[in-house]
C-alpha cells in the first residue's frame, strides 16, 4: 500500500467537546476481497444540496412534470437502480456529508450540526479506498469546516460557496476565483480531473459535489427567463395551519409567507413596502459578485417581474394569500432553474464517460444531502423528520451488474453509502460503520434481501437556525414516530393513511397499541446505535 504524507492535519481537532466518549480512534485497516485493481470499478459520486424528490421526474410524483423535466437524472435512473425509500440520518448539509464519509450516525462521527467541525483524523471511506490503491478526489461543495483529509486531489468551495463567479480553495491553501456559473465550473473541473489523471488504469473514487439547488437559488444566466409567463402548481398544504400536531410546528421560521429576505431570497435591490411581508438585513450578495454584463442580464429578467408585483401591491390587488403565492412562484421557479443547470451538467458528465469508454467500468451515483420543502406545509428548507426533508434521492448505475430500470423498495440511509463503496472496492466493511452495504440489494435484482433493516433512525439537534425543535425518531415502512424533548411531546403518523403527515395519532385510541410498539422500537433503536441519554437537545 502507498503511504500518504500530510494526511494528519493538526488543525482537524475533534469537535466532540459535547460527546467526548463517543468518537474513538480506529485503525485504518480493511481486508481486501478483490485482487487485481483493474477488476474493481471506478466510483463517481455526484452529490447535490437540498434536491427534493418532488423535483426529479423519474421519482414519479413531481407536480411540475408538465413544465419541468430532469432528463439526465432520469437517464441515469433508466440505466440503473432508483431507490424509492432513501433517507438521510440528519437533515442538514454538514451532518449529512459526515454521515456519507463515515458510515456513522452524527453522534458517532462528531458532526451533529452546522456549528460542528469535522474531525478529519477519523476513518473515512475515501481513506480506506486510498489505502487500497484507489485514487481519490473531491471537487465542489465540502461544507465540513476543516480541510479535506485523505484525498489525492481536492478543490472545494469555501463554506456554502457562491453561484456566480465562485471562489475555490486549492490544496496549497490559496483561494482562486473563476468567472462563470458554479454548476458549470464544478463539472468542468470534474471532467478535467478525469482527463488529466496520471495513471488511467488506477481505479478511482471521484466525489463531484454541487452547491445547487441550495439557497439562495440563483439561476445560470441562460435560465433566467425559464418559466416566464407560467404559474407553476401550488402544493395542497401551502396554507397549512399546523393543527393536530405539535405546537413546535408553529414556532419554526421557514415559512414562505413570512421568512424570506427581500434581498437574499426575493432578489429585490431595495426594501419593498411593509405589506409585502419580507424580512430585511440580508442583501443579495450573489448580485454583488456579478460582472456589470451579468448584472444587466439579471436586472433585465427580474426588474419587470418585480415592478408588476409592486404595482399590484400598491393598487391593493393582492391579498395576503396572493402575496404568499407570488413569493412561492419566485422561490420555486428559481429553485427549479438551478436544477435545470444541474441536470444539464450531469448530462455533460455522462456524455464524457460514454465518449471516453469510462462508462463501462464506472459506477455513477446521484444523490443529495437531504430533501427539501417546496412549499409543503407552507415551508422551504429542511431539518424536520417529515417526509419532504427526510427522504433523499439515491440513483446508482453500474453497467453489466445492476439491472437497468429497477426500483428497490428497501429502507436505505446515507450511512449506507460508505459500506457500499467499501464492498464495491473489494474491501470488508469495518465493524464500527453503522450503515450496511447495498450490494445485497443490487445482487438480489433490487428485491429486499432477507434480514434487511426494517426501520431507520433520525436525529436533529435543534440548532438555532429556523428555530426547528430538536427531535429524533424512527420510521418503518408504514409508521413514523419522533420525540421532541423540549415540549416532551410524541408525534406519530400512519404514512399510508396520512402521507402528508397532517395528523399526529399519538392520542388516538385506535392506534394505541401500534403507538406503544413504535415507542418501544424507538428506545430499542436508540440503544442499538448507542445514542446518549439527553440527546438531541
DSSP per position, 379-412: B-S--SSSHHHHB--EEEE-TTTSPTTB---S-E
Residue 35 has pLDDT above 90, yes or no: no
Helix (H, G, I), strand (E, B) or coil at 46: strand
If pLDDT is split at 50, 70 and 90, which confidence band does 23 have?
very low
Of residues 11 and 457, more confidence is placed in 457
If pLDDT is split at 50, 70 and 90, which confidence band does 7 have?
very low
If pLDDT is split at 50, 70 and 90, which confidence band does 209 have?
very high
**Residue 175 contacts residue 107 (beta carbons within 8 Å):** no
Location of each CATH 3.40.720.10 domain in the chain: 1-22+41-248+330-537
Residue 5 has pLDDT above 70, yes or no: no
Residue 323 has pLDDT above 80, yes or no: yes
DSSP 8-state secondary structure symbol assigned to residue 197: -
- Total residues belonging to the chain: 537
If pLDDT is split at 50, 70 and 90, which confidence band does 332 have?
very high
If pLDDT is split at 50, 70 and 90, which confidence band does 25 have?
very low
At 84-120, the pLDDT tens digits run 999 999 999 999 999 999 999 999 999 999 999 999 9
CA distance 367 to 99: 13
DSSP 8-state secondary structure symbol assigned to residue 361: G
Residue 304 has pLDDT above 50, yes or no: yes
Q: Please determine, looking at this structure, whether the domain spanning 1-22+41-248+330-537 carries the CATH number 3.40.720.10.
A: yes
Tell me what the mean pLDDT of segment 176-194 comes to.
98
Tell me what the mean pLDDT of segment 484-502 comes to.
97
Residue 50 has pLDDT above 80, yes or no: yes
If pLDDT is split at 50, 70 and 90, which confidence band does 33 have?
very low
If pLDDT is split at 50, 70 and 90, which confidence band does 19 have?
very low
pLDDT of residue 464: 87
What residue spans of 114-181 are helical by DSSP H?
Answer: 125-131
Q: Which residues contact 257 (CB under 8 A, 6 or more apart)?
A: 277, 320, 323, 324, 327, 378
If pLDDT is split at 50, 70 and 90, which confidence band does 39 have?
confident
Quote the mean pLDDT of the chain. 93
Q: Which of 355, 61, 116, 383 is nearest to 235 (CA)?
A: 61
If pLDDT is split at 50, 70 and 90, which confidence band does 30 have?
low
Q: What is the pTM of this model?
A: 0.94
At 268-298, the pLDDT tens digits run 999 999 999 999 999 999 999 999 999 999 9
Least confident segment among 32-41, 191-200, 353-362, 406-415: 32-41
Grid coordinates in use for 83? 431507490
pLDDT of residue 219: 98
pLDDT of residue 435: 98
At 135-179, the pLDDT tens digits run 999 999 999 999 999 999 999 999 999 999 999 999 999 999 999
What Rg value do the Cα atoms of the chain yield, rounded? 23
Amino acid at each position: 500500500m502507498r503511504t500518504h504524507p500530510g494526511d494528519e492535519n493538526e488543525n482537524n481537532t475533534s469537535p466532540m467537546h459535547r460527546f467526548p466518549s463517543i468518537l474513538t480512534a480506529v485503525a485504518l485497516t480493511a481486508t481486501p476481497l478483490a485482487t487485481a485493481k483493474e477488476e474493481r470499478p471506478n466510483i463517481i459520486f455526484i452529490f447535490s444540496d437540498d434536491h427534493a424528490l418532488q423535483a426529479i421526474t423519474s421519482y414519479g410524483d413531481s407536480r411540475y412534470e408538465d413544465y419541468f423535466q430532469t432528463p439526465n437524472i432520469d437517464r441515469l435512473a433508466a440505466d440503473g437502480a432508483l431507490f424509492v425509500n432513501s433517507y438521510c440520518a440528519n437533515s442538514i448539509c454538514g451532518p449529512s456529508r459526515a454521515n456519507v464519509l463515515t458510515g456513522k450516525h452524527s453522534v458517532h462521527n462528531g458532526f451533529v450540526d452546522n456549528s460542528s467541525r469535522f474531525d478529519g483524523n477519523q476513518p473515512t471511506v475515501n481513506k480506506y479506498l486510498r489505502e487500497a490503491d484507489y485514487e481519490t478526489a473531491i471537487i465542489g461543495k465540502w461544507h465540513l469546516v476543516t480541510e479535506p483529509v485523505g484525498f489525492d486531489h481536492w478543490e472545494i468551495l469555501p463554506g456554502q460557496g457562491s453561484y456566480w463567479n465562485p471562489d475555490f480553495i486549492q490544496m496549497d491553501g490559496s483561494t482562486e476565483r473563476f468567472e462563470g456559473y458554479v454548476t458549470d465550473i464544478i463539472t468542468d473541473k470534474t471532467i478535467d480531473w478525469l482527463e488529466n489523471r496520471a495513471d488511467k488504469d488506477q481505479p478511482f473514487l471521484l466525489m463531484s459535489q454541487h452547491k445547487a439547488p441550495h439557497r439562495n437559488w440563483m439561476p445560470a444566466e441562460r435560465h433566467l427567463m425559464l418559466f416566464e409567463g407560467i404559474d407553476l402548481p401550488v402544493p395542497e398544504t401551502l396554507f397549512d395551519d399546523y393543527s393536530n400536531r405539535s405546537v413546535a410546528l408553529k414556532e419554526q421560521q421557514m415559512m414562505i409567507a413570512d421568512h424570506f429576505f427581500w434581498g437574499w431570497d426575493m432578489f429585490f435591490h431595495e426594501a419593498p413596502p411593509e405589506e409585502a411581508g419580507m424580512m430585511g438585513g440580508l442583501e443579495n450578495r450573489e448580485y454583488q459578485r456579478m460582472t456589470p454584463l451579468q448584472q444587466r442580464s439579471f436586472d433585465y429578467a427580474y426588474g419587470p417581474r418585480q415592478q408588476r408585483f409592486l404595482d399590484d401591491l400598491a393598487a391593493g390587488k393582492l391579498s395576503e394569500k396572493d402575496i404568499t403565492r407570488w413569493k412561492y412562484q419566485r422561490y420555486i421557479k428559481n429553485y427549479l432553474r438551478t436544477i435545470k443547470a444541474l441536470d444539464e451538467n450531469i448530462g455533460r458528465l455522462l456524455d464524457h464517460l460514454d465518449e471516453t469508454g469510462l462508462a463501462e467500468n464506472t459506477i455513477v451515483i446521484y444523490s443529495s444531502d437531504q430533501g427539501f420543502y417546496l412549499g409543503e406545509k407552507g415551508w422551504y428548507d429542511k431539518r424536520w423528520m417529515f417526509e419532504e426533508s427526510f427522504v433523499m434521492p439515491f440513483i446508482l448505475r453500474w453497467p453489466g451488474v445492476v439491472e437497468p430500470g429497477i426500483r428497490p423498495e428497501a429502507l436505505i440511509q446515507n450511512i449506507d453509502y460508505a459500506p457500499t463503496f467499501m464492498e464495491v472496492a473489494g474491501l470488508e466493511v469495518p465493524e464500527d460503520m453503522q450503515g450496511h452495504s447495498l450490494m445485497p440489494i443490487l445482487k438480489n435484482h433490487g428485491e429486499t434481501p432477507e434480514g434487511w433493516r426494517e426501520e431507520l433512525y433520525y436525529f436533529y439537534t435543534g440548532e438555532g437556525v429556523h428555530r426547528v425543535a430538536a427531535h429524533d425518531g424512527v420510521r418503518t415502512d408504514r409508521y413514523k414516530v419522533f420525540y421532541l424533548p423540549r415540549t416532551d411531546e410524541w408525534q406519530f403518523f400512519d404514512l399510508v393513511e396520512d402521507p402528508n403527515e397532517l395528523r399526529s395519532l399519538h392520542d388516538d385510541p385506535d392506534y394505541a397499541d401500534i403507538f406503544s410498539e413504535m415507542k418501544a422500537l424507538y428506545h430499542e433503536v436508540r440503544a442499538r446505535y448507542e445514542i446518549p441519554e439527553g440527546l438531541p437537545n
